[in-house]
């Protein structure tokens, strides 16, 4: 593919799961991916070997010298120390940028580069990288959350689009909330499944059987949310206004002890809020909300005394 001269040269420090996908994706989109360095030279060599015109380098500093946009694709705990070792000035910083890919770590960790005249930013793909070639296809349609200003924001937005992703802009200082909240759509969805599996185990259901039953239901819920939005995709007794079922389930979960009822009650509170966002909320929504709050009044203290799952 011909390389338009206006496209910035991209380099990577770190050659792990995320870097493998981004470096190949940018290269396939026509960006000159010029340099990779990593902790282990063999990692850098493996990645650079798949990209035409890309050099595997021993020293991360050489990546700064050969690229305009440097992705610091190292584990979060190494971002700050790596940023401290890189030199951008006094003339070298012109038009250079240092970017990390963490969702939770502040962009401010890259301040040493900014202090030398480089632009700094965050580029966080909302995608779980497995490190396999399939990542390149699967990342299409995902979002990339970008924290940057000016020309770097435009550059990172174009790079996100080059991966066939949707750019999402985040204000400075918002990353911890953004990343913590995103757990609800990833790990915490797994925790909800684990709670169901644990409760079903008391009925004698094996985990494999439980997951075979639950995962298609979850997939259907996601599809419905895509089609109808969250309030209208809500199913279950809260959405139908079945106060009696909600009351009996709250009482049952309270009788189990531990924090089962608190978890159920807090999620039911969120279900009530979703149902209330409907154009026509269920007629019984107020009595359901009351039952949920009464149960929470009892169960939150119980939950504070001890967890159900070790
Ligand atoms: N994985 C995901 O799903 C995902 C999603 C979104 C964002 N991210 C973010 O992407 C960044 C990288 O994560 P990852 O999952 O790609 O990690 P990873 O698979 O563990 O890869 C990290 C890479 O950095 C290299 N490395 C470690 N310490 C280094 C150092 N001090 N100097 C140079 N290279 C070093 C590793 O070394 P060697 O291979 O050379 O030994 C490895 O190639 C993190 O900030 C993470 O939060 C990850």
Mean pLDDT by 10 residues, the chain (310 residues): 70 98 98 98 98 98 97 98 92 84 97 96 96 96 97 98 98 93 95 98 98 98 98 97 98 96 98 97 96 97 75
pLDDT at 309: 63
Question: Tokens for 119?
Answer: 């632009």
Nearest CA to ligand 1 atom 21: 16
pLDDT at 4: 45
Task: Please report the domains of the chain, with CATH numbers, ordered by start residue.
Answer: 10-172 (3.40.50.720), 183-303 (no CATH)
Minimum-distance ligand 1 atom for the alpha carbon of 15: 43
Cα–Cα distance measured from residue 55 to residue 64, given in angstroms and rounded to the nearest whole number: 12
Cα–Cα distance measured from residue 93 to residue 115, given in angstroms and rounded to the nearest whole number: 10
Q: Which of 14, 22, 77 to mutate to test the pocket of ligand 1 (most atoms within 8 A of CB)?
A: 14
Cα–Cα distance measured from residue 310 to residue 258, given in angstroms and rounded to the nearest whole number: 11
Give residue-wise pLDDT tens across range 40-63. 999 999 999 999 999 999 999 999
Minimum-distance ligand 1 atom for the alpha carbon of 44: 40
Q: Which of 15, 16, 43, 77 to mutate to test the pocket of ligand 1 (most atoms within 8 A of CB)?
A: 16
Cα–Cα distance measured from residue 134 to residue 234, given in angstroms and rounded to the nearest whole number: 32
pLDDT at 205: 98
Q: Strand, helix or coil at 62?
A: helix
Ligand 1 residue neighbourhood (C-beta within 6 Å):
13-19, 38-40, 43, 60, 73-76, 78, 82, 100-103, 124-125, 128-129
Closest C-alpha among 240, 27, 215 to residue 136:
27
pTM of the model: 0.90
Long-range CB pairs of 261-265 (<8 Å, 24+ gap) are 261/295, 261/298, 261/299, 261/302, 261/303, 262/296, 262/299, 262/300, 262/302, 262/303, 263/195, 263/303, 264/299, 265/292, 265/295, 265/296, 265/299, 265/300
């Amino acid at each position: 593919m011909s390389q338009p001269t206006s496209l910035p040269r991209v380099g990577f420090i770190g050659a792990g799961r995320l870097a493998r996908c981004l470096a190949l994706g940018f290269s396939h989109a026509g960006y000159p991916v010029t340099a990779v360095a990593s902790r282990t030279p063999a990692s850098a060599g493996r990645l650079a070997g798949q990209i035409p015109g890309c050099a595997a380098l021993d020293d991360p500093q050489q990546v700064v010298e050969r690229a305009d946009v440097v992705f610091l694709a190292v584990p979060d705990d190494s971002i700050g120390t790596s940023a401290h070792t890189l030199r951008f000035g006094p003339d070298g910083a012109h038009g250079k940028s240092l970017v990390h890919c963490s969702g939770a770590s502040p962009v401010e960790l890259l301040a040493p580069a900014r202090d030398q005249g480089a632009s700094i930013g965050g580029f966080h793909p909302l995608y779980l990288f497995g490190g396999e070639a399939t990542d390149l296809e699967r990342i299409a349609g995902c979002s990339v959350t970008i924290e940057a200003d000016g020309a770097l924001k435009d550059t990172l937005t174009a790079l996100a689009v080059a991966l066939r992703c949707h750019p999402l802009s985040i204000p400075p200082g918002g990353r911890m909330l953004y990343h913590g909240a995103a757990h609800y759509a990833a790990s915490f969805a797994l925790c909800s499944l684990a709670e169901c599996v644990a409760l079903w185990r008391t009925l004698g259901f094996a985990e494999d059987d439980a997951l075979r039953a639950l995962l298609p239901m979850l997939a259907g819920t996601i599809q419905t949310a895509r089609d109808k939005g969250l309030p209208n995709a809500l199913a279950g007794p809260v959405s139908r206004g079945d106060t009696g079922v909600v009351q009996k389930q709250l009482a049952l979960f309270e009788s189990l002890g531990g924090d089962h009822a608190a978890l159920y009650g807090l999620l039911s509170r969120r279900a009530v809020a979703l149902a209330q966002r409907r154009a026509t909320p269920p007629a019984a929504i107020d009595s359901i909300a009351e039952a949920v709050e009464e149960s929470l009044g009892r169960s939150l203290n119980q939950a504070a005394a001890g967890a159900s799952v070790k």
